Chains A and B, each alone.
Chain A
Amino acid sequence: MVSFIVRRLISGVVVLFVVSSLTFFMLYFSATSVARNILGESATQAQVHLKEIELGLDQPLFSRYVDWLGGALSGNFGVSWFNSQPVVDSIVGRLPTTLSIVLVTIVIAAVLATLFGVAAAVRRGWVDRLLQIVSIGASAIPQFVVAIVLVTVFAIGLQLLPATGYVPLTDSFGGWLASITLPIIALAIGAVASTAQQVRSAVITVLSRDYVRTLRSRGLAPREILFRHVLRGAAPAGLTVLSLQFIGMLGGVVVLEQIFALPGLGFLALQSTTQGDMPVLMGVVVYIVIIVVVVNLLVDLAVGWLNPKARVS
């Protein structure tokens, strides 16, 4: 198990290094007029030139890369070119928003998808068909459409929930919950639908296995078979889908953060991309790769714990 974790960690570090280096070089070739954008249109050419020197844009590419890498290795990602905030502060300030939404959505998706998926697999018949139809419909509706409908109904029409903004959990639990509810619903609908489908087929597969038939023939209670054996066998498939969902949500949340004006990581990524704020963008990329690597590792560990065979292979 230890060597499994060590192998995974090493490959994670390699992925992180490769992705961040590639991103750095790709960004360098596209970043042409960032100094002008920082200073705005009224700035003179001389001002722009001064700014370029200040940002080190006149330095050769490789030495800038070495500077960046050296800083990154010591946890220093520099300061934003646009608002002079340390990159780490910007990201750490925005992580809670994005993680609140994504993590709560994942928990909701896990619970509801298991509920619906198992119900469909066990009951079959009309329950199954209904769930299939609903979930295909639900995963086909784009998140932003759901979000706009939710805002129109619950924020503007009924004025029950805020249309925009984020309240930190540390300020007020109620405010926090209210501020993330609509984005979570918008994000969760698709996630529940597609995860439920996977859970359903995994449960159906396991239910048709020989060992389940054996258990049944030995007279075990159906409930015990389901919860102690079938779910355990079907869980790896569900977990894998959830981890993919999680990674997909880091992308999907960008649109939601824009619609709900949430100060999250996704919107920061979008903003720093359009502005050409390289230090921030590089920081965001590194953090997201770390999150993805960690989530994958955790899922692998969970699958290994549930299914000893996976540890060996």
Chain B
Amino acid sequence: MKFRPRVAAVALLTAAAITLTACSGSGAQPASSNGSAVTGGTLTIGALVDVKSFDPAQAHIGHYVQYYQPVYDSLLRREADGTLVPMLATAWEYNSDNTELTLTLRDDVTFTDGTKLDAEAVKINLDRFRTGNGPDASTLAQVSDVTVADATTVVITLKAQDPALLDYLGNADGFIASPAAVEGGKLATDPVGSGPYTLDKSKTVAASSYTFVKNPDYWDPSLQVYDTIVVKPILDTTAMSNALLSGQLNAALLTAKTQPQAKGAGLTEYNYPTDWQGLLFFDRDGTMVPELADVRVRQAINYAIDKETLLAQVGKGLGTATSQPFGKGTDAFDESLESAYPYDVDKAKELLSEAGVGEFSITMPTVSGFLDPALTAGIGQNLADVGITVNWENVAGSDFISSLVQGKYAASWFSLFQGSPWVAVNQIIAPEATYNPFHTTDAKVETLITAIQTGSAEEQKTAAQEINKYIVEQAWFAPFYRPDQIFFTDKNTTTEPQLQQAVPSIYSYAPAQ
């Protein structure tokens, strides 16, 4: 019996393969690279998160801004180096004690639904942001009132000074949607702003690809470098790397693991720090682990950790070892604190015996699949070497953060964003800070916090440096290193890393010359 169908099947498969080859050129279209034209074309970027809602009241910083920036203008715009420049607000001024901020608005801006931008629209958006229970709503906690002085003037009144307010208005808090669209109640999926682009829903597949097309009536064409921007949420880091390497993306954030392949492929690499990683000591009063109340024990742990080796093994060497929780480029940064606690087992043992503690154990949480086994093994080994046993308790990924902020653990490894001093203080140091679940504090810290919040620019800077020095001395944390963000663009694209942001702002992309 002869089997002709087999031959037919092979022929069919071959034909299919050829057809597929012919119709597969639908990746990212590089912008024209003929040297003269530097605008137009399509920019396709990968995002490690999917947008949760296009409603600016639900906007979030970091990776999420890529979805908001095309469609919404913000009140101020943060340049790549963090400088604030005018956007919807042309000028801003504080009163003498920094409790009232007056914003002057552009008078020539129209939302893409035809509504005109005015002070009332800004008030509606700011009020929605601070009362809408979005992820960043707490950043406007100091705002007591937003008032309309005239059509182009808005006054923001504060309960207490907030040195980070202007930064916030240049970020998630400052995105302004059309009041008519707010009224319409469909902003979550149908964004209406005054931004350089509009969402093209016909070319958008939720969770897969969001297409933004140029807003023809935009007031600042210099921010419209591309005709089209496509943002593709790719939540898996390997898939992200594959998409970039295969030419489906012009730019993407990779990881230490996927970096070598991209580098080998000749893509352009950008390295910049935004986070720090290390141990957070929550129980500084010794409620759960009495030994941690002694500063010498906390210092000993700092000395016991072999940061350089951890960075090499876990972070593939892409980053900088440090002993301070505040980031480079912030007022609090102090170069001399980078190596405040070098790896020194003898010193650690000496401090522990001075403190008079015998062997003890700390229970810390771990999340399988999230915490690198090399990391937990390294920490465990380093601490075991000085007589401290780490009991790792596996928690579900979705419960990790809440278990930390609810004070279920005396200490934990964590990776945290490094913002401006005031942002960092409110994140990890202040008595009510998110990552101070035991609310530990002391008089010196409180004085310095007040100085950062209410002092003049010069006083703020001095206080920020002092608080950094103080908490490093007091070993409130055991920082390991600042891992690099590893961002890549293809050869047709350039960008500029954004200070204190995981990914560049969309305004920073341009075709390569």
Contact = CB atoms under 8 A, between A and B. Distances in A.
Interface string B181-223: 0000000110000000000000001111100000000000000
Nearest to B138: A44
B248 A222 contact: no
Interface in B117-155: 133-139, 141
Nearest to A82: B52
Given A42-B136, A226-B1, A258 B239 contact: yes
A175 B136 CA distance: 39
Given A40-B135, A42-B139, A163 B243 contact: yes
Nearest to A174: B23
A84 B52 contact: yes
Given A39-B135, A83-B50, A164-B239, A178 B24 contact: yes
Contact of B398 (A34, A115, A268): A34
A111 B397 CA distance: 42
B20 interface: yes
B405 A36 contact: yes
B52 A83 contact: yes
A165 B232 contact: yes
Contacts of A136: none
B234 interface: yes
Interface residues of B, number: 59
A228 interface: no
Contact of B238 (A39, A83, A259): A259
B211 to A, nearest CB: 11
Contact of A85 (B19, B189, B397): B189
Interface in A163-182: 163-168, 172, 174-175, 177-178, 181
Contacts of B247: 159
A162 B245 contact: no
B393 interface: no
Given A33-B402, A85-B189, A177-B20, A166 B208 contact: yes
Contacts of B136: 40, 42
Contact of A119 (B3, B401, B405, B427): B3
A238 to B, nearest CB: 16
Nearest to B397: A274
B138 A85 contact: no
B460 to A, nearest CB: 21
A186 interface: no
A275 interface: yes
A54 interface: yes
A71 B233 CA distance: 30
Contact of B26 (A37, A151, A162): A162
Interface centre among A90, A123, A263 (most CB of B within 10 A): A263
A258 B236 contact: yes
A164 to B, nearest CB: 4
Interface centre among B23, B207, B209 (most CB of A within 10 A): B207
A175 B26 contact: yes
Given A162-B246, A164-B234, A164-B243, A47 B26 contact: no
B373 interface: no
Interface in B242-262: 242-243, 245-248
B458 interface: no
A165 B53 contact: no
A168 B207 CA distance: 13
Contacts of A50: 133
Nearest to B416: A41
B434 interface: yes
B21 interface: yes
B391 interface: no
Contacts of B141: 44
Interface centre among B137, B234, B243 (most CB of A within 10 A): B243
Contacts of A43: 135, 137-138, 434
A259 B133 contact: no
Interface in A247-300: 258-263, 267-268, 271, 274-276
A30 B192 CA distance: 38
A178 B135 contact: no
Interface in B481-511: none
Nearest to B238: A259
A229 interface: no
22 contacts: A33-B403, A42-B136, A42-B434, A43-B137, A43-B138, A44-B434, A47-B138, A84-B188, A112-B9, A119-B6, A151-B242, A155-B245, A159-B247, A160-B20, A163-B246, A164-B232, A174-B23, A178-B23, A178-B24, A259-B239, A261-B239, A268-B207
Interface of B: 1, 3, 5-6, 9, 19-24, 26-27, 50-53, 58, 60, 133-139, 141, 188-189, 205-209, 232-236, 238-240, 242-243, 245-248, 396-399, 401-403, 405-406, 427, 434
Given A259-B238, A274-B398, 4 more contacts: A40-B135, A43-B434, A83-B50, A84-B188
In the A-B complex, list the 7 residue pairs whose CB atoms are closest, starting with the nearest: A174-B23, A33-B402, A163-B242, A163-B246, A263-B207, A40-B135, A263-B208
